[in-house]
Structure 1
Amino acid sequence: MEHTYNVTGMTCAGCQYKVQTLLSGVPGVTTVDVDLMAGEARIAMDQHVTTSALQSALKDYQKYQLTESNVAMPAPGIAEEQLKSWAATYKPILLIFGYILTISLIAGSTVLGFDELLAMRVFMAGFFLIFSFFKMLDLDGFAESYAMYDVVARKFKSWGYIYALIELALGLAYAMDLNPVITNLVTIVVMTVSIIGVLQSVLNKKVIRCACLGSVFNLPMSTVTIIEDGLMIVMSGLMLASMM
Structure 2
Amino acid sequence: MTHTYKLTGMTCSSCEAKVKSALLTLENVTNITVSKDTETTTITMDKHIALSNLQKVLEPKYQISAINHNEIAEQTKSWFETYKPILLIFFYILLVTTLVQTQNTKFDFMQAMRHFMSGFFLIFSFFKLLNLKGFAESYVMYDVLAKQIPIWAYLYVFIELGLGIAFLINFNPIVTNLITVIVMSISIIGVLQSVLNKKKIQCACLGAVFNLPMSTVTIIEDALMIGMSGIMLFIMI
Note whether the superposition's TM-score is higher than 0.5: yes
Of 199, 208, 211 in structure 1, the residue corresponding to residue 204 of structure 2 is 211
Q: CA deviation at 1:224?
A: 0.3
Aligned to 2:135: 142
Which of 225, 231, 243 is residue 224 of structure 2 equivalent to?
231
Which structure's CA Rg is the greater one?
Answer: 2
Partner of 1:87: 80
Quick check: 1:147–1:153 contact (8 Å CA) kept in 2? yes
Q: Say whether the 8 Å CA contact 1:198–1:225 is kept in structure 2.
A: yes
Q: CA deviation at 1:168?
A: 0.3
Large movers: runs of 4+ above 2 Å? 72-79, 81-84, 108-112
Q: Aligned pair in 2 of structure 1 residues 81, 209: CA closer, same or farther (>3 Å)?
A: farther
CA positional deviation for 1:212? 0.1
Identity score, percent: 60
Name the stretch that deviates more: 125-134 or 233-242: 233-242
Q: Which amino acid aligns with 1:224?
A: V
Q: Name the structure 2 match of 1:160.
A: 153
Tell me how many residue pairs correspond in the alignment. Answer: 176
Query: CA separation in 2, counterparts of 1:213 and 1:73?
Result: 28
CA distance in structure 2 between the aligned counterparts of 1:140 and 1:172, rounded to whole angstroms? 22
* Partner residue, 2:3: none
CA deviation after TM superposition for structure 1 residue 77, in Å: 7.7
Which whole-Å CA distance do the structure 1 matches of 2:197 and 2:25 have between them? 27
Contact kept, 8 Å, 2:83 with 2:212, in 1: the verdict is yes
List aligned pairs for 1:42-57, cutoff 5 A. none
Residues 127-160 of structure 1 deviation map (CA, whole Å, 9 limit, x = unaligned): 0000000000000000000011000111111111
CA positional deviation for 1:75: 5.7
- Structure with greater proportional helix content: 2
User: Do residues 101 (structure 1) and 67 (structure 2) align?
Assistant: no
Partner in structure 2 of residue 18 of structure 1? none
Shift of residue 114, structure 1, vs aligned partner:
0.6
Render the CA deviation track for 1:63-101: whole Å, top value 9, x for unaligned. xxxxxx98x678668851454610000000000000001
Match of 1:11 in 2: none
Distance 2:157 2:203 in 1: 14
User: Gaps (5+ residues) in structure 2?
Assistant: 1-20, 31-44, 50-76
RMSD value, Cα: 2.1
Displacement of 1:126:
0.3
Deviation of 1:112 (Å): 2.3
1:40-80: per-residue Cα shift (whole Å, max 9, x none)? xxxxxxxxxxxxxxxxxxxxxxxxxxxxx98x678668851
What is the rounded CA distance, in whole Å, between the counterparts of 2:183 and 2:25 in structure 1? 41
Q: Read off the aligned partner of 1:102 and give its amino acid letter.
A: L
What pairs with 1:189-208 in structure 2 (closer than 5 Å)? 189-208=182-201
Distance, in Å, in 1 between the alignment partners of 2:28 and 2:231 is: 45
Check the 8 A contact 2:121/2:163 in 1, yes or no.
yes
Higher RCO (CA 8 Å, separation ≥ 6 residues): 1
Matched residues in 1 for 2:131 and 2:114: separation? 27
SS at match of 1:126: helix
8 Å CA contact 1:108, 1:116 repeated in 2: no
Secondary structure at the aligned position of 1:213 is classed as coil
Q: 8 Å contact 2:28–2:47 — kept in the other structure?
A: no
* 1:168-197 CA-partner distances (Å, limit 9, x unpaired): 000010111111110000000000000000
